[in-house]
Homo-oligomer: A and B are copies of this chain.
Amino acid sequence: MELHAVILAGGRGERFWPLSRSDSPKQMLRLVGEETLLGATLRRVSGRVLRANTLVVIGADLRSATERLGLPLPAAQFLWEPVGRNTAAAIGAAVERIGAAPGRALLVLPSDHWIPNDAAFWRAVDAGLMLLASGEPVVTFGLRPLYPETGYGYIERGEPLSAAPGAFRARRFHEKPDAKRAQAYVDSGCCLWNSGIFLFDAAAMAGLLRLHLPEMAPTLDRLRADLAAGEETEAWARYFGAATAVSIDHGVMEKAGRVAVLEAGFEWSDLGTWTSLGDRLSADADGNRIRGEVMALDSSDCVLYSGDGGLLAVLGVHDLIVVRVGDATLVCPRERAQEVRRLVQEGKVDARLGRFF
C-alpha cells in the first residue's frame, strides 16, 4: 500500500495562552524538549513516509510563521486553509489533493500531540495497515485509559478483529465526558481514549464523506474538478468557503458502520492543557513542575512556567498553574486548566486582550 501522512495543524491551542498567541499557536511551540510539536510530528513520520507523500494542512494566516520555522518540507507539501472548517473539511481536502485511489493509505495525525516513542508508534501503524489490507476502510487508534480524563473522547470497542493484534470493531464514539461518565468509561474496561489519529483507505474515505455528509458531496466533487483543471488557489477558496464545519468524528466516524479501533501500545498525550503539559515535566521534591527561571518557596504541586529568561517567583501557593512569558501572565488552579480558553475567547470581545491573541 502507498502510505501518505496528513498532518492537521489547523488548531490554535488557546488553552496554552499566554504562550500560544495568534502568530505562534500551540503546534509551533517548543512545549516539551527543543522541537516544536509540529516539527516533532514531521520528524516522526519522516522515517516511514516520503516527503512527497506528506501533507500539512494549516491556516493560510500562519504561512509566514510556518515559513519562519524552516521545516524540512517543500512548500508544495503544505495545504493552506483560507478559513478553518474543522477536521472533516480538512480531511476531505487532503483526500482530493492526494487523490482518492483505492489501496492508497492515508495516516492522519494532529500536529500538536506528544508521542515519545516513534518505534512503538509505528508498530501500531503497521498493525493498522494490516487491517486496511484485510479490507477495513477506516482504522482509529485508541489508548487504554490511565485515569478518567474528561478532556478526551472515548471509543467503545466491540468484538475483536482477527486481522491484527489488539484490533477491535469500534462500537461507539463518546464525546468528552463529565467526571462521573469518564469514571464509568474507565471502569467498563472496554473504552479507549480516542487519540485523534487514524488511518483510512483514500477511496473509502472519499465515499464516506459523500455518504454521511451529503451536503458536502457537490462541494467535494467541485473541488475534484477544479483540481483536475489545475485551478488550485481558486479551488481551495471555493471549497473551504462552502465546506461544512464539522469534526470527522462527529460527521463521519460516529455514523460509519465499519470502523476498526486498535488498542495502541504507544505512550501518548494530546498536551491539551497546562496541567497535561505539567504531567510531562518531572516533578521536584515538592511536586512542582517547573520550566524556566522559577523560584518556589513553601509551594507545592504547581505547574510553573517562565519564558524568555524572565523570573517567576511564588510563595506559599499550591496546585496552581502560573505562566509568565513576555508581556503576559496567567494564574489559575490546576483543575481549571481547561478553562484557560475562556480567557482568550472572552478576551476576544475585550479590547484589552485584542493584541494578545
Which residues of A are at the interface with B, using a C-beta cutoff of 8 A? Answer: 17-18, 293, 295, 297, 306, 308-317, 320, 322, 324, 326-333, 336, 339-340, 342-343, 346-347, 350, 352-353, 356
Contact = CB atoms under 8 A, between A and B. Distances in A.
Contacts of A330: 313-315
Contacts of A18: 311, 313
B329 A312 contact: yes
A331 B331 CA distance: 8
Given A306-B329, A329-B310, A329-B329, A315 B295 contact: no
A326 to B, nearest CB: 8
A317 B316 contact: no
Contacts of A312: 328-329, 331
A311 B328 CA distance: 5
Contact of A315 (B306, B309, B336): B336
16 contacts: A295-B350, A295-B352, A297-B346, A310-B328, A311-B356, A312-B331, A314-B331, A315-B330, A315-B333, A315-B340, A315-B343, A316-B333, A316-B336, A317-B320, A322-B331, A329-B329
Which 7 A-B residue pairings sit nearest by Cβ, starting from the closest? A310-B327, A315-B332, A324-B329, A311-B328, A314-B331, A316-B336, A329-B329
Contact of A313 (B306, B326, B329): B329
A329 B311 contact: yes
Nearest to A331: B314
B295 A353 contact: yes
By CB atoms of chain B within 10 A, which of A306, A309, A313, A327 has the most?
A: A313
Nearest to A330: B313
A339 B315 CA distance: 8
Nearest to A350: B295
A191 B356 CA distance: 51
B340 A331 contact: no
A181 B283 CA distance: 40
A321 to B, nearest CB: 9
Contacts of A332: 314-317
A293 B18 CA distance: 14
Contacts of A346: 295, 297
A342 B298 CA distance: 11
Contacts of A306: 329
A315 B346 CA distance: 12
Contact of A352 (B293, B320, B331): B293
Given A293-B352, A352-B295, A331 B315 contact: yes
Nearest to A332: B315
A322 B311 CA distance: 13
A241 to B, nearest CB: 34
Contacts of A356: 311
A342 B297 contact: yes
A311 B353 contact: yes
Contacts of A339: 297, 315-316
Given A18-B313, A313-B18, A313-B328, A297 B352 contact: no
Contacts of A311: 18, 327-329, 352-353, 356
